[in-house]
Structure 1
Amino acid sequence: MQTFKKEERLCNKRLIDELFHNGSSFLCYPFKVSWLVVDGAQDTPVQVLFAVAKKRYKRAVDRNLLKRRMREAYRLHKQEHLYNFLLQAGKSITLSVSYIGKEINEYKLIEKKMLKLLSQLCEGITK
Protein backbone atom coordinates (compact mmCIF):
# COMPACT_ATOMS: atom_id res chain seq x y z
CA MET A 1 0.00 0.00 0.00
CA GLN A 2 2.15 2.84 -1.29
CA THR A 3 -0.15 5.80 -0.82
CA PHE A 4 0.11 8.99 1.18
CA LYS A 5 -3.38 10.02 2.21
CA LYS A 6 -4.74 13.03 4.07
CA GLU A 7 -5.10 11.00 7.31
CA GLU A 8 -1.34 10.37 7.27
CA ARG A 9 -0.48 14.07 7.16
CA LEU A 10 0.01 15.94 10.41
CA CYS A 11 -2.21 19.07 10.32
CA ASN A 12 -3.52 19.37 13.88
CA LYS A 13 -1.94 22.46 15.53
CA ARG A 14 -2.27 20.98 19.03
CA LEU A 15 -0.46 17.78 18.00
CA ILE A 16 2.27 19.77 16.23
CA ASP A 17 2.88 21.92 19.34
CA GLU A 18 2.94 18.83 21.53
CA LEU A 19 5.38 17.14 19.15
CA PHE A 20 7.88 20.02 19.23
CA HIS A 21 7.55 20.64 22.99
CA ASN A 22 7.50 17.07 24.35
CA GLY A 23 8.89 14.96 21.51
CA SER A 24 12.28 13.33 21.07
CA SER A 25 14.51 14.27 18.17
CA PHE A 26 17.64 13.18 16.37
CA LEU A 27 19.74 14.28 13.43
CA CYS A 28 20.20 12.17 10.33
CA TYR A 29 21.82 14.65 7.96
CA PRO A 30 20.27 16.22 5.84
CA PHE A 31 17.19 15.64 8.02
CA LYS A 32 16.21 16.60 11.55
CA VAL A 33 13.57 14.24 12.91
CA SER A 34 11.20 14.87 15.80
CA TRP A 35 8.83 12.16 16.99
CA LEU A 36 6.39 11.50 19.79
CA VAL A 37 4.48 8.36 20.77
CA VAL A 38 0.77 9.27 20.82
CA ASP A 39 -1.75 7.91 23.30
CA GLY A 40 -5.26 7.29 22.09
CA ALA A 41 -6.59 5.86 18.87
CA GLN A 42 -5.36 7.21 15.55
CA ASP A 43 -6.54 6.24 12.08
CA THR A 44 -2.98 5.52 10.96
CA PRO A 45 0.16 4.35 12.80
CA VAL A 46 2.02 7.53 11.80
CA GLN A 47 1.04 11.13 11.15
CA VAL A 48 3.90 12.92 9.43
CA LEU A 49 4.89 16.51 8.65
CA PHE A 50 7.54 17.49 6.09
CA ALA A 51 9.25 20.87 6.39
CA VAL A 52 11.89 22.85 4.53
CA ALA A 53 13.14 26.13 6.01
CA LYS A 54 12.15 29.28 4.17
CA LYS A 55 15.20 30.96 5.70
CA ARG A 56 17.54 28.58 3.86
CA TYR A 57 15.57 28.17 0.61
CA LYS A 58 14.02 31.48 -0.39
CA ARG A 59 12.35 30.20 -3.56
CA ALA A 60 9.14 28.21 -3.10
CA VAL A 61 10.11 26.10 -6.12
CA ASP A 62 13.15 24.77 -4.27
CA ARG A 63 11.22 24.10 -1.05
CA ASN A 64 8.48 22.29 -2.94
CA LEU A 65 11.00 20.19 -4.87
CA LEU A 66 12.67 19.05 -1.65
CA LYS A 67 9.35 18.30 0.06
CA ARG A 68 8.19 16.34 -2.99
CA ARG A 69 11.36 14.23 -2.94
CA MET A 70 11.06 13.63 0.82
CA ARG A 71 7.39 12.62 0.56
CA GLU A 72 8.09 10.25 -2.31
CA ALA A 73 10.97 8.51 -0.49
CA TYR A 74 8.79 8.21 2.63
CA ARG A 75 5.77 6.94 0.69
CA LEU A 76 7.74 4.14 -0.97
CA HIS A 77 9.42 2.83 2.19
CA LYS A 78 7.05 3.59 5.09
CA GLN A 79 5.17 0.28 4.98
CA GLU A 80 8.05 -2.17 5.26
CA HIS A 81 10.39 -0.03 7.38
CA LEU A 82 8.02 1.73 9.78
CA TYR A 83 4.37 0.66 9.66
CA ASN A 84 5.03 -3.06 10.12
CA PHE A 85 7.25 -2.30 13.13
CA LEU A 86 4.68 0.03 14.73
CA LEU A 87 1.78 -2.37 14.16
CA GLN A 88 3.71 -5.17 15.86
CA ALA A 89 4.57 -2.85 18.77
CA GLY A 90 0.98 -1.59 18.92
CA LYS A 91 2.05 2.05 18.92
CA SER A 92 1.24 5.16 16.91
CA ILE A 93 3.43 8.23 16.53
CA THR A 94 3.52 11.77 15.20
CA LEU A 95 6.58 12.55 13.15
CA SER A 96 8.24 15.67 11.77
CA VAL A 97 10.94 15.46 9.11
CA SER A 98 12.73 18.79 8.53
CA TYR A 99 15.25 19.28 5.75
CA ILE A 100 18.33 21.07 7.10
CA GLY A 101 20.79 20.36 4.27
CA LYS A 102 22.65 23.25 2.67
CA GLU A 103 22.16 22.09 -0.91
CA ILE A 104 19.39 20.52 -2.93
CA ASN A 105 20.30 16.84 -3.04
CA GLU A 106 19.42 14.27 -5.68
CA TYR A 107 16.48 11.95 -5.05
CA LYS A 108 18.79 8.89 -4.73
CA LEU A 109 20.60 10.43 -1.74
CA ILE A 110 17.36 11.60 -0.12
CA GLU A 111 15.93 8.09 -0.50
CA LYS A 112 19.05 6.48 1.01
CA LYS A 113 18.98 8.87 3.98
CA MET A 114 15.21 8.33 4.42
CA LEU A 115 15.84 4.58 4.82
CA LYS A 116 18.53 5.29 7.40
CA LEU A 117 16.18 7.72 9.17
CA LEU A 118 13.36 5.15 9.34
CA SER A 119 15.59 2.45 10.81
CA GLN A 120 17.03 4.96 13.33
CA LEU A 121 13.47 5.95 14.26
CA CYS A 122 12.49 2.31 14.89
CA GLU A 123 15.52 1.94 17.19
CA GLY A 124 14.53 5.11 19.04
CA ILE A 125 10.97 3.90 19.56
CA THR A 126 12.20 0.55 20.87
CA LYS A 127 14.21 2.24 23.63
Structure 2
Amino acid sequence: MYTFKKEERLCNKRLIDELFHNGSSFLCYPFKASWLLVDNATQTTAAQVLISVSKRRYKHAVDRNLIKRRLREAYRLQKQQHLYDLLTSTNKKIVLSLGYIGKQIEPFDLFEKKMLKLLKQLSEQLAK
Protein backbone atom coordinates (compact mmCIF):
# COMPACT_ATOMS: atom_id res chain seq x y z
CA MET A 1 0.00 0.00 0.00
CA TYR A 2 2.63 2.55 1.04
CA THR A 3 5.12 1.75 -1.70
CA PHE A 4 6.65 3.69 -4.57
CA LYS A 5 7.56 1.15 -7.23
CA LYS A 6 9.35 1.53 -10.56
CA GLU A 7 6.02 1.35 -12.44
CA GLU A 8 4.86 4.49 -10.60
CA ARG A 9 7.82 6.55 -11.79
CA LEU A 10 7.43 8.49 -15.02
CA CYS A 11 10.30 7.62 -17.37
CA ASN A 12 8.66 7.66 -20.83
CA LYS A 13 10.08 10.63 -22.77
CA ARG A 14 7.04 10.85 -25.06
CA LEU A 15 4.70 11.05 -22.04
CA ILE A 16 6.91 13.65 -20.35
CA ASP A 17 6.88 15.85 -23.48
CA GLU A 18 3.12 15.47 -23.79
CA LEU A 19 2.70 16.33 -20.08
CA PHE A 20 4.61 19.59 -20.35
CA HIS A 21 3.08 20.62 -23.71
CA ASN A 22 -0.59 19.64 -23.21
CA GLY A 23 -0.98 19.19 -19.46
CA SER A 24 -2.58 21.42 -16.85
CA SER A 25 -0.56 22.86 -14.01
CA PHE A 26 -1.05 24.68 -10.74
CA LEU A 27 1.05 26.06 -7.92
CA CYS A 28 0.90 24.91 -4.33
CA TYR A 29 3.96 26.56 -2.82
CA PRO A 30 6.64 25.15 -2.47
CA PHE A 31 5.52 22.73 -5.23
CA LYS A 32 4.51 23.14 -8.84
CA ALA A 33 2.33 20.32 -10.14
CA SER A 34 1.63 19.49 -13.78
CA TRP A 35 -0.79 16.72 -14.67
CA LEU A 36 -2.39 15.11 -17.70
CA LEU A 37 -5.07 12.46 -18.10
CA VAL A 38 -3.88 9.56 -20.26
CA ASP A 39 -5.68 6.69 -21.93
CA ASN A 40 -5.84 3.42 -20.00
CA ALA A 41 -3.82 1.36 -22.51
CA THR A 42 -0.52 3.20 -21.98
CA GLN A 43 0.10 2.56 -18.29
CA THR A 44 -0.41 -0.06 -15.62
CA THR A 45 -0.75 2.07 -12.46
CA ALA A 46 -3.31 4.78 -11.69
CA ALA A 47 -0.66 7.51 -11.61
CA GLN A 48 2.92 7.92 -12.76
CA VAL A 49 5.01 10.62 -11.12
CA LEU A 50 8.05 12.66 -12.11
CA ILE A 51 9.88 14.45 -9.30
CA SER A 52 12.29 17.29 -10.05
CA VAL A 53 14.36 19.90 -8.23
CA SER A 54 16.03 22.81 -10.03
CA LYS A 55 19.78 22.53 -10.48
CA ARG A 56 19.97 26.30 -10.89
CA ARG A 57 18.48 26.95 -7.43
CA TYR A 58 20.26 24.09 -5.62
CA LYS A 59 23.83 23.79 -6.85
CA HIS A 60 24.81 20.86 -4.61
CA ALA A 61 23.56 17.39 -5.51
CA VAL A 62 23.22 16.48 -1.82
CA ASP A 63 20.65 19.26 -1.37
CA ARG A 64 18.69 18.23 -4.47
CA ASN A 65 18.72 14.60 -3.37
CA LEU A 66 17.54 15.50 0.14
CA ILE A 67 14.62 17.49 -1.26
CA LYS A 68 13.70 14.74 -3.74
CA ARG A 69 13.85 12.13 -0.97
CA ARG A 70 11.52 14.19 1.25
CA LEU A 71 9.17 14.87 -1.67
CA ARG A 72 9.00 11.18 -2.64
CA GLU A 73 8.36 10.14 0.95
CA ALA A 74 5.58 12.71 1.43
CA TYR A 75 3.95 11.56 -1.83
CA ARG A 76 4.33 7.88 -0.94
CA LEU A 77 2.56 8.31 2.41
CA GLN A 78 -0.34 10.42 1.08
CA LYS A 79 -1.01 9.07 -2.42
CA GLN A 80 -3.29 6.14 -1.58
CA GLN A 81 -6.03 7.89 0.35
CA HIS A 82 -5.95 11.23 -1.46
CA LEU A 83 -5.26 10.28 -5.07
CA TYR A 84 -5.38 6.56 -5.90
CA ASP A 85 -8.80 5.95 -4.32
CA LEU A 86 -10.34 8.69 -6.49
CA LEU A 87 -8.54 7.53 -9.66
CA THR A 88 -9.53 3.87 -9.27
CA SER A 89 -13.16 4.71 -8.47
CA THR A 90 -13.48 6.94 -11.56
CA ASN A 91 -11.28 4.63 -13.71
CA LYS A 92 -8.88 7.43 -14.71
CA LYS A 93 -5.12 7.35 -15.16
CA ILE A 94 -2.80 10.34 -14.96
CA VAL A 95 0.82 11.37 -15.36
CA LEU A 96 2.00 13.88 -12.79
CA SER A 97 5.06 16.08 -12.40
CA LEU A 98 6.01 17.48 -9.00
CA GLY A 99 8.64 20.22 -9.07
CA TYR A 100 10.12 21.84 -5.98
CA ILE A 101 10.27 25.63 -6.34
CA GLY A 102 10.92 26.61 -2.71
CA LYS A 103 13.76 28.99 -1.84
CA GLN A 104 15.14 26.94 1.07
CA ILE A 105 15.08 23.35 2.26
CA GLU A 106 12.01 22.90 4.45
CA PRO A 107 11.54 20.32 7.23
CA PHE A 108 9.68 17.10 6.39
CA ASP A 109 6.49 17.95 8.32
CA LEU A 110 5.95 20.98 6.05
CA PHE A 111 6.51 18.77 2.99
CA GLU A 112 3.84 16.39 4.30
CA LYS A 113 1.33 19.17 5.02
CA LYS A 114 1.83 20.81 1.63
CA MET A 115 1.70 17.47 -0.22
CA LEU A 116 -1.67 16.79 1.42
CA LYS A 117 -2.92 20.19 0.25
CA LEU A 118 -1.55 19.60 -3.27
CA LEU A 119 -3.18 16.16 -3.62
CA LYS A 120 -6.52 17.53 -2.42
CA GLN A 121 -6.27 20.35 -4.95
CA LEU A 122 -5.39 17.84 -7.68
CA SER A 123 -8.30 15.56 -6.80
CA GLU A 124 -10.67 18.57 -6.94
CA GLN A 125 -9.41 19.39 -10.45
CA LEU A 126 -9.75 15.74 -11.50
CA ALA A 127 -13.31 15.60 -10.19
CA LYS A 128 -14.36 18.45 -12.52
Q: TM-score range by the shorter chain?
A: over 0.9
Which residues of structure 2 form unaligned runs of 5+? none
Give distance in 2, aligned partners of 1:33 and 1:76. Answer: 17
Question: Match of 1:107?
Answer: 108
Q: Are 1:72 and 2:73 an aligned pair? A: yes
Runs of 4+ in 1 over 3 A off after TM superposition: none
Q: State the Cα deviation string for residues 40-94 of structure 1 (Å, max 9, x = none).
A: 3221000000000000000000000000000000001111110001001110000
Q: Are 1:15 and 2:15 an aligned pair? A: yes
Q: Are 1:44 and 2:45 an aligned pair? A: yes
Q: Which secondary structure does the structure 2 equivalent of 1:63 belong to?
A: helix
Question: Match of 1:31?
Answer: 31
Q: State the Cα deviation string for residues 68-127 of structure 1 (Å, max 9, x = none).
A: 000000001111110001001110000000000000000000000000000000011112
Give distance in 1, aligned partners of 2:127 and 2:76. Answer: 22
Q: Which secondary structure does the structure 1 equivalent of 2:70 belong to?
A: helix
Q: Cα RMSD between the aligned structures?
A: 0.5
Q: Which secondary structure does the structure 1 equivalent of 2:97 belong to?
A: strand
Q: Which secondary structure does the structure 2 equivalent of 1:48 belong to?
A: strand
Q: TM-score, normalised by structure 2?
A: 0.98
Give distance in 1, aligned partners of 2:76 and 2:2. Answer: 6
Which residues of structure 1 form unaligned runs of 5+? none
The letter for the 2-side match of 1:25 is S
Give distance in 1, aligned partners of 2:53 and 2:86. Answer: 27
Q: Which secondary structure does the structure 1 equivalent of 2:103 belong to?
A: coil
Give distance in 1, aligned partners of 2:75 and 2:5. Answer: 12
The letter for the 1-side match of 2:106 is N
Question: Match of 1:62?
Answer: 63
